[in-house]
Structure 1
Amino acid sequence: MIQSILFFVLAGLLEIGGGYLVWLSLREGKSVWFAVAGFIVLGLYGVIPTLQPTNFGRTYAAYGGVFVVLSILWGWFVDRIKPDKFDILGGWVVLLGVLIVMYAPRNRM
């Protein structure tokens, strides 16, 4: 489970980081090389979820919740926008969903 969580966090950081680099290039006037680096990082992001031990649909459903939480944290620590109580509540709700979807015990027939 620890390895799976680390893969989710790594995938999230690569996706958010890659998207942020593209954002900086296109929206903040940074060099086109920021966008190029962002595309490379986003390509690496595409590989990491394949290392999860479950099927594609479950992996990406759970990852969506991880992405929400990491995006809130990114906004807080990188963009310096403190989450409000609804951001925090929503983050906990989706995190609970991740735990249920990904790690709930299942009857295997």
Structure 2
Amino acid sequence: MTVLRSVLLFVLAAVAEIGGAWLVWQGVRENRGLLWIGLGVLALGGYGFVATFQPDPNFGRVLAAYGGVFVAGSLLWGVLVDGFRPDRWDLLGAGVCLLGVALIMYAPRS
């Protein structure tokens, strides 16, 4: 149950961070305005809050592992929201990152 909770928190954190960054991008680069930027900033703050609920107490470990989730999640966001088509190297890189997440967060420790 702890692993499932951790994975769900990583997914929620990714939606908040990637979504927040996307909103800021849209507000600035696509001239959608201050409302989009403000919503993005709030979502980015939400990401920081969600990360604190990870069961592992080590900030460095959680944030290092989240980096891999961010890489894979960013590519997925691009596919779902922006019509991006990753190539095999994008997919391989994301897979390597997710393997790193699994090792960092869920490897047995003494």
User: Runs of at least 4 residues of structure 1 off by over 2 A?
Assistant: none
Match of 1:93 among 90, 96, 106: 96
- RMSD of aligned alpha carbons: 0.6
Q: State the alpha-carbon separation in 2 of the partners of residues 103 and 7 from structure 1.
A: 14
Match of 2:22 among 20, 23, 44: 20
State whether structure 2 residue 59 is matched by structure 1 residue 56. Answer: yes
- Unaligned 5+ segments in structure 2 are none
TM-score (norm 2): 0.95
After the TM superposition, which residues 56-75 of structure 1 pair with which residues of structure 2 at under 5 Å, given as runs? 56-75=59-78
- Unaligned 5+ segments in structure 1 are none
Identity of aligned residues (%): 52
TM-score (norm 1): 0.96
